[in-house]
């Protein structure tokens, strides 16, 4: 094909780093420094919410409950049980003309403590765990883990736990069998080699100085916990304690071009959306940002996207802008547009066989758009209309944002889902778009700084669009 024709006709999907002007290069790296710093402080959903509230307040946002009335340019947020959050910047037009929604999730795969976690065996103390979300279990052994979350006593007193992140803190780990004795284990299938019930965390080894006590190591751990947090063993039953990798987020590669860190699914899209929203002043359409919980286990529950708390938030916006009337909420959703901002599977050359390379998201080629997700013949997918895909494409093209349209893996290899279908079911035009990730759901996930910045630019352009 002659070069002129190729230039005109072929979808080039170029590497975004190519011919990048110096100032944009610096903007990308500055932005990603902020992202890495935020991610280090926000490993679980509760921490992400706390840090987002602080960021929002310092940018003029207020709790919606503090506001009697709302007008164009007002900035509000609503925190749902400390684990999910919605933010809004009220637009010039009425809400019934439709909202521009960016929805991400702030929960990530991890190990949760069981309600009765502590036991002693072989004069070592352990915490029993139950994994959360889709993990490859073998990846969670022999890495440093930290414990994050809350313990709520029966009198309501809440104790916030974060241990294993500070240099002076201890860390915790899950042991694995030495190779010398692992002949039988290594013959097992990868998915069965480490059993979920065996993902128990090593938490202590020194026995208490009491001759008569049984389970002396366990008792010593309880004594330390009582001194440090004022809790007893029973208080664990009303706790939410999450084990996450104690690794710090780091730049990856000789060129510093990538980010390696825990929980980038989907905190990379949450952070980029949040940062973009902070820069929205008076949009035409009201800008909404969703930071949801429980996506990794199916979006159920009162902090998940399936709950009606989001509808309540939009109803409150309608009430406080003085617009509300019977059945208006349904109309608002039917006229709204959404970017379901969730990560995409990045093409991994080491595992190329699972991807259709003409329909895969590549690191460094910009924001990755999934028209549909689902599995086995698009089952469970919210499949965006071509008309809406064209609208989104136009938005990206007029803002010179690098994008790629992809799907998650080859046909019948697997599949996945996001919160897209939940809003689509309400009548919103929704499409999935986000940052391509390598090693998704692993303790250490990899993204490209170029794509992170393009995601931020996408969300900002979407909210600024009429
Ligand atoms: Mn996700
Ligand atoms: Mn996920």
| Nearest to 414, CA basis, from 363, 356, 354 | 354
Three-class secondary structure of residue 172 per DSSP: strand
Strand order in the sheet with 367-370: 62-63, 75-80, 84-89, 286-292, 99-105, 337-341, 429-434, 367-370, 403-406
Output the CA 288–ligand 2 centroid distance in Å.
22
Task: Compute the distance from residue 178 Cα to the ligand 2 centre, in Å.
Answer: 31
Indicate if the pLDDT at residue 159 is higher than 70.
yes
**What's the 171 CA to ligand 2 centre distance in angstroms?**
25
| φ, ψ dihedrals at 25, nearest 5° | -55, -45
Is the peptide bond preceding residue 103 cis, with omega within 30 degrees of 0?
A: no
**What token pair was written down for 268?**
């990379």
Q: How far is the CA of 433 from the centre of ligand 2 (A)?
A: 13
Residue 415 has what pLDDT? 86
C-alpha closest to that of 104 among 344, 332, 334: 344
Ligand 2 centroid to residue 283 C-alpha, Å? 31
Residue 1: the pLDDT is 60
Which ligand is the nearest neighbour of the Cα of 132? Answer: 2
Residue 1 Cα to ligand 2 midpoint, Å, equals 41
pLDDT average, residue stretch 8-35: 94
pTM to 2 decimal places: 0.97
Q: What is the pLDDT of residues 199-256, one digit of tens each?
A: 999 999 999 998 899 999 999 999 999 999 999 999 999 999 999 999 999 999 999 9
Following CA atoms 18, 24, 25, 31 in sequence, which dihedral angle do they give, to the nearest 10 degrees? -130
**CATH topology agreement for domains 3-108+262-464 and 110-245:** no
450 CA from centroid of ligand 1 (Å): 19
- Report the separation in Å between the CA atom of 323 and the middle of ligand 1, taken as the mean of its atom positions: 34
Instruction: Tell me the CA–centroid distance for residue 296 and ligand 2, in Å.
Output: 5
Helical segments of 298-403, H only = 309-320, 328-334, 386-398
Q: Which CATH superfamily is 110-245 part of?
A: Aminopeptidase i, Domain 2 (2.30.250.10)
Task: List C-alpha distances in Å: 113 to 136, 220, 265, 333.
Answer: 18, 19, 21, 38
Please state the rounded mean pLDDT for residues 367-382.
90
Distance between Cα 241 and ligand 1 center (Å): 21
Q: Is the pLDDT of residue 132 over 70?
A: yes
Going from N- to C-terminal start, the domains of the chain cover 3-108+262-464, 110-245
What is the pLDDT averaged over residues 152-179? 97
Contact 154, 238 (CB under 8 A): yes
Instruction: Give me ligand 2 centre to Cα 448, in Å.
Output: 17
Q: What is the largest CA-CA distance in the chain?
A: 88
Mean pLDDT score across all residues of the chain? 96
Taking a 5 Å cut-off on Cβ, the residues next to ion ligand 1 are 265-266, 342
Expressed in angstroms and rounded, the spacing between residue 269 Cα and the centre of ligand 1 is 9
Angle at CA of residue 16, ends 10 and 17, nearest 5°: 135
* CATH code for the structural domain at 3-108+262-464: 3.40.630.10
């Amino acid at each position: 094909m002659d070069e002129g024709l190729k230039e005109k006709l072929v979808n080039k999907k170029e590497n975004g780093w190519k011919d990048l002007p110096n100032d944009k290069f610096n903007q990308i790296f500055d932005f990603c420094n902020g992202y890495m710093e935020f991610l280090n402080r926000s490993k679980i959903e509760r921490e992400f919410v706390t840090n987002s509230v602080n960021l929002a307040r310092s940018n003029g946002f207020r709790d919606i409950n503090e506001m009697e009335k709302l007008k164009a340019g007002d900035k509000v947020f609503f925190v749902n049980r400390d684990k999910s959050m919605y933010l809004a910047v009220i637009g010039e037009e009425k809400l019934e003309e439709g909202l521009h929604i960016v929805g991400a999730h702030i929960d990530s795969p991890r190990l949760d403590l069981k309600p009765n976690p502590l036991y002693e065996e072989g004069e070592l103390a352990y915490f029993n765990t139950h994994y959360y979300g889709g993990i490859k279990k073998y990846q969670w052994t022999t890495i440093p883990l930290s414990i994050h979350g809350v313990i709520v006593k029966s009198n309501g007193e809440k104790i916030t736990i974060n241990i294993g992140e500070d240099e002076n803190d201890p860390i915790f780990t899950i042991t694995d069998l030495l190779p010398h004795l692992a002949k039988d284990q290594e013959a097992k299938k990868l998915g069965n080699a480490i059993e979920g019930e065996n993902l128990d965390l090593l938490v202590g080894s020194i026995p208490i100085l009491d001759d008569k006590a049984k389970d002396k190591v366990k008792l010593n751990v309880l004594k330390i916990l009582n001194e440090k947090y004022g809790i007893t063993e029973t208080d664990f039953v009303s706790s939410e304690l999450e084990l996450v990798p104690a690794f710090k987020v780091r730049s990856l590669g000789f060129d510093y071009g990538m980010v390696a860190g825990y929980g980038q699914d989907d905190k990379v899209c949450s952070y980029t959306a949040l940062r973009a929203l902070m820069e929205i002043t008076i949009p035409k359409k009201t800008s909404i940002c969703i930071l949801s919980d429980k996506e990794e286990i199916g979006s159920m529950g009162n902090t998940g996207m399936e709950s009606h708390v989001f509808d309540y938030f939009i109803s409150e916006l309608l009430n406080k802008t003085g617009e509300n009337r019977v059945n208006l909420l349904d109309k608002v959703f039917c006229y709204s547009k959404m970017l379901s901002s969730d990560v995409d599977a990045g093409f991994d050359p080491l595992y190329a066989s699972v991807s259709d390379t003409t329909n895969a998201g590549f690191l460094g080629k910009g924001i990755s758009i999934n028209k549909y997700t689902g599995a086995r013949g698009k089952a469970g997918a919210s499949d965006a209309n071509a008309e809406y895909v064209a609208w989104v494409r136009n938005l990206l093209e007029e803002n010179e944002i690098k994008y790629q349209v992809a799907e998650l893996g080859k046909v019948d290899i697997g599949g996945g889902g996001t919160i897209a279908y939940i809003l689509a079911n309400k009548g919103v035009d929704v499409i999935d778009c986000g940052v391509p990730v390598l090693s998704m759901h692993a303790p250490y996930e990899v993204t490209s700084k170029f794509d992170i910045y393009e995601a931020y630019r996408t969300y900002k352009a979407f909210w600024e669009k009429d």
